[in-house]
Amino acid sequence: MSLGMLKLYKLVLLIFVGTLLSANTTMEFNHIKKGVQDENTLLVIGGIQGDEPGGFISASLLATHYEITKGSVWIVPNLNFYSIIKRSRGPYGDMNRKFAYLSKKDPEYKTVERIKNLIKDDRVKLIVNLHDGSGFYREKYVDSMHSPHRWGQASIIDQKKIDVEKYGNLEDISRKVVKHVNNNLLKSKDIYTQHNTKTKDGDKEMEKSLTYFAINNGKSAFGNEASKNLPTHKRVYYHLLALEKYMDIMGIEYKRDFNLTAKGVYGAINNDIYISFYNNKINLPLDNARHTINYFPIKENEKIDFKASNPLTTVIKTGDNYAVYYGNRKLSNLKADYQKYDIKDNGVDVQIDGINQNVKFGSIIDVKKWFLIKSDKKYRINVIGYTNKKKIETDIKIRKSNIINRFSIDKKGKIYRVEYYSADKFVGMILMRFR
């Protein structure tokens, strides 16, 4: 199996159904259950504020790159998805201040009610809400970036303890998490501390927060704040350190498919990002996609149907442009070429470096030197960007030098589209990736 096919196999395993997000609308968050479901469930929440990528990316990696081998973990990586896309703390106000009272007329009312129901579920015993905070929290003033007015690099509790059967000693649990993080610092200046907001003593703002709502409903709840002064992948590193300690405390066992280092986290965030369309007729790797991909086959008169390799990837339609987002990063713009779609899903014959293969639509095929598309009377075939004076695109060796670089789907000029049509209908696409 080629590397490309292995990645597609991974895509199938980690698939998340996408929902089209049009401008100025909200979007449902994902609720992902991992492990063997039991009465000792950890609920991890990211993305309550869309300008805190360390939090929502950490939750996404927990959903896609961790296997829970013992215990139960629920993950909401994109609680306020619209704010994530908008890179905003909250287009409709701060969602983390909507848990004491919220009008039914509020655009986020249904989202808040839905997450409240998850929090109150009897199976959930401990909740971690992931944030990125400014500067570095210190109990006493050091300087403008290290003071009681900052939130970064801190484990947040609302009070010392609550009266519940499990995990009621919030202060003790938080200190264990802080100790674990501080034993694995990337730099000594990144030190974590505990921040007790003492919410019930009169902090009117924190009384409106998600964690305080959870505590008042008999759930152990913690905030975890990485510092916005750190690059995103390092924030994610610290969030994951903390989450792993919470899982250890709860007796939850896990495996991850990357090394928990700054470099390992960076790779997990930025590599192997895929999106597929229309039941895998098209698969696009997004790691290094061009800013704009022109003449992209979109099914006419229908809502776009896509699936993604992580829950932070979505598509926003504006006119005939379909913008693909990964969290708050726009990865590519797909310029629509509206087509009727054929439902055929047959394999097609190709030759790769002299070896015959039958491949399915949606395949990404690795090529060393050349590929050859076998002619087929059922299809009209278009190698996008291929130049040939005789206008022949089948039964001929095609090398990378034969294709105009700007027609690649990636910035490095290595991946090219081969499209199949039957009469006036689009049938499917395969990608040729030169190594």
Domain end (from 214, 240, 270): 270
214: in domain: yes
Question: What 3-state DSSP class applies to 91?
Answer: strand
SS3 320: coil
pLDDT at 122 over 50: yes
The DSSP string of 294-310 is EEEEEETTS---EEESS
Number of domains in the chain: 2
Count of beta carbons in the 10 Å neighbourhood of residue 390: 6
Residue 26 maps to a domain: no
Do residue 262 and residue 291 come from a single domain?
Answer: no
- The residue type at 76: V
* Beta bridge partner(s), residue 429: 419
Domain check: are 293 and 350 in the same one? Answer: yes
| 241 lies in the same domain as 289 | no
Q: Is residue 18 part of a domain?
A: no
For residues 252 and 281, membership in a common domain is answered with no
Considering the domain architecture, whether residues 305 and 193 belong to the same structural domain is answered as no
CA distance 19 to 308: 10
176 pLDDT above the threshold of 80: yes
Pairing of strands 329-341, 398-399: unpaired
Q: Give me the phi and psi of 57, to 5 degrees please.
A: -70, -35
User: d(Cα 312, Cα 83) in Å, to the nearest integer?
Assistant: 12
Q: Give the pLDDT score at 9.
A: 39
C-alpha distances (whole Å) from 11 to each of 268, 334, 363 are: 14, 20, 12
- What is the share, in percent, of the chain residues with pLDDT greater than 70? 94
The token pair at 153 is 């690099």
Residue 166 lies in a domain: yes
| Pair 251, 289 in one domain | no
Whether residue 4 is contained in a domain is answered as no
Q: Do residues 265 and 279 both lie within one domain? A: no
Are 202 and 148 in the same domain? yes
SS3 for 216? helix
Q: Are residues 93 and 167 in the same domain?
A: yes
In the prediction, which pLDDT does 132 show?
98
Residues 115 and 263 grouped into a single domain: yes
In a domain, 334, yes or no: yes
pTM beyond 0.95, yes or no? no
Q: Are residues 326 and 408 in the same domain?
A: yes
Tell whether the model's pLDDT for residue 188 goes beyond 90. yes
**DSSP code of 84?**
H
Residue 174 is assigned to a structural domain of this protein: yes
CA distances from 78 to 28, 146, 276, 360, 380 (A): 9, 29, 20, 33, 42
Of 285, 348, 239, 302, nearest in space to 20 by CA: 302
Instruction: Evaluate whether residue 180 is within a structural domain.
Output: yes
345-376 confidence digits (pLDDT tens): 778 999 999 999 999 999 999 999 999 999 99
Pairing of β 274-277 and β 124-133: unpaired
Mean pLDDT of the chain: 93
221-272 confidence digits (pLDDT tens): 999 999 999 999 999 999 999 999 999 999 999 999 999 999 999 999 999 9
Boundary of a domain, candidates 244, 270, 296? 270
What six digits make up the tokens of 208? 């409106």
Q: Which of 241, 270, 299 is the last residue of a domain?
A: 270
- Domain range for 406: 274-434
Q: What is the DSSP string of 181-201?
A: HHTT-SSGGG--EEEE--GGG
My answer on whether 258 and 298 are in the same domain is no
Residue-wise pLDDT for 127-159, tens only, equals 999 999 999 999 999 999 999 999 999 999 999
For residue 18, the model assigns a pLDDT of 52
Q: Which residue has the higher pLDDT, 52 or 378?
A: 52
CATH number for the domain that contains residue 126: 3.40.630.10
